[in-house]
C-alpha cells in the first residue's frame, strides 16, 4: 500500500469521498473542512496550499485518509500505526511543514514518533478530546429560564469577545479563527444565543452538515454565568436547529480535561464515539 497525495480537492474526494462518507461521525473534521474548501476555495483556511491523501489497498479500496490545511495540524482518519508512520515519512520527505497532528491516540502517536525521526521535531500533547454522537436528545426537565435565538450581525462584538475567551480557556494554541467563525456563523445562522432576562448568557455554534452529520461547537458560557444550565440549553437549541435543517446526526468534541462538559453532553443524550488528541510539534531540542 502507498499513500497517494494531491493538492486537488476534487481528486481527493473522488478517490476517498466514499470512504469518508461511510464513517461520517469519525470523519467529521475532514468532511467539514472539505465542504468549506469547496465553497470558498483553496484559501479558505489561509494562503498555504492544502494537501490531501488516501491510502489505497492493492485492490484499490481506500484504507485511510488525511487532510492538511495550513496553518492547522494534519488531520488523520483512523489507521494503523504503520500507515500513520508512513504518512509522516512521506510528508517530511517532500518538505511539508506541519504544526502538529490531530488524530485518534494510536495513529497520532505513531505519526508524531515518525515525524520526530524524520524532522527532529518532538511532539507534546496540546489537548485530549472525546468525540460524541447524538443518540436521543434529552432536554433538561424543567429547562433553565430563557429562550434561544439566532445570533445576528448586531451581536458581532459580543460573539468575538466570547470566542476569544473560549479560545484562551479551552482550545490548544493555534490560529485565531474567531473572526472567521463569527462571520461564517452570522452569514448562515449557525450561531445560537441563549438569552435570560433579555441578555445573552450562553453561546452554541454548529458547522453545516457534511455527509449528513452536523458538528456542534463552540459552546461557551462566561464563568460568572455557569452552573445554571444555560450552556446545556444552548446546546439543545443548536442541536435541534441542526436536526430541523435536515441533519441525520449531530456530533461534538469535548475537552477530556473538563469533566463538567463530558458529563453534561452525556446527560443531554450524546454517547461516546472515540478519543482524539492534538499533538503539537516543537523545535528540535525543546
Q: How many CB atoms lie within 10 A of CB 225?
A: 15
Tell me the pLDDT tens digit for each residue of 32-77: 999 999 999 998 988 899 999 999 988 889 999 999 999 999 999 9
278 neighbors 101 (Cβ within 8 angstroms): yes
Ramachandran assignment for 227, one of left (phi > 0), alpha (psi -120 to 50 degrees), beta (any other): left
Q: What is the pLDDT of residue 204?
A: 98
136 neighbors 269 (Cβ within 8 angstroms): yes
pLDDT band at residue 286, thresholds of 50, 70 and 90? low
Q: What is the pLDDT of residue 285?
A: 62
On whether the pTM is more than 0.85, the answer is: yes
Q: What is the pLDDT of residue 138?
A: 97
pLDDT band at residue 173, thresholds of 50, 70 and 90? low
Tell me the pLDDT tens digit for each residue of 197-209: 999 999 999 999 9
pLDDT band at residue 161, thresholds of 50, 70 and 90? very high
**136-268 belongs to CATH 1.10.357.10:** no
pLDDT band at residue 228, thresholds of 50, 70 and 90? very high
Indicate the average pLDDT of the chain: 95
Tell me the pLDDT tens digit for each residue of 233-260: 999 999 999 999 999 999 999 999 999 9
Amino acid at each position: 500500500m502507498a499513500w497517494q497525495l494531491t493538492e486537488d480537492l476534487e481528486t481527493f474526494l473522488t478517490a476517498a469521498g466514499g470512504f469518508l462518507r461511510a464513517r461520517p461521525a469519525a470523519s467529521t473534521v475532514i468532511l467539514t473542512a472539505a465542504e468549506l474548501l469547496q465553497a470558498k476555495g483553496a484559501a479558505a483556511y489561509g494562503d498555504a496550499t492544502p494537501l490531501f491523501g488516501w491510502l489505497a489497498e492493492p485492490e484499490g479500496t481506500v484504507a485511510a485518509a488525511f487532510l492538511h490545511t495550513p496553518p492547522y495540524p494534519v488531520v488523520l482518519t483512523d489507521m494503523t500505526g504503520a500507515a500513520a508512520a508512513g504518512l509522516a515519512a512521506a510528508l517530511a520527505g517532500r518538505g511539508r511543514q506541519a504544526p502538529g497532528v490531530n488524530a485518534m491516540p494510536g495513529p497520532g502517536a505513531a505519526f508524531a514518533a515518525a515525524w520526530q525521526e524524520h524532522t527532529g521535531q518532538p511532539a507534546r500533547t496540546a489537548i485530549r478530546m472525546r468525540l460524541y454522537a447524538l443518540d436521543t436528545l434529552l432536554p433538561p426537565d424543567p429547562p433553565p429560564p430563557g429562550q434561544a435565538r439566532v445570533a445576528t450581525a448586531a451581536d458581532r462584538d459580543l460573539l468575538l469577545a466570547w470566542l476569544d475567551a473560549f479560545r484562551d480557556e479551552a482550545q490548544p494554541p493555534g490560529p485565531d479563527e474567531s473572526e472567521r467563525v463569527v462571520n461564517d456563523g452570522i452569514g448562515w445562522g449557525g450561531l445560537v444565543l441563549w438569552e435570560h432576562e433579555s441578555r445573552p448568557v450562553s453561546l452554541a455554534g454548529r458547522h453545516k452538515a457534511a455527509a449528513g452529520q452536523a458538528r456542534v461547537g463552540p459552546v461557551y458560557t462566561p464563568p460568572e454565568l455557569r452552573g445554571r444550565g444555560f450552556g446545556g440549553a444552548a446546546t439543545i437549541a443548536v442541536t435541534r436547529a441542526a436536526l430541523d435543517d435536515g441533519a441525520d446526526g449531530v456530533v461534538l468534541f469535548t475537552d477530556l480535561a473538563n469533566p463538567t462538559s463530558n458529563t453534561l453532553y452525556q446527560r443531554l443524550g450524546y454517547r461516546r464515539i472515540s478519543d482524539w488528541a492534538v499533538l503539537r510539534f516543537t523545535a528540535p531540542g525543546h
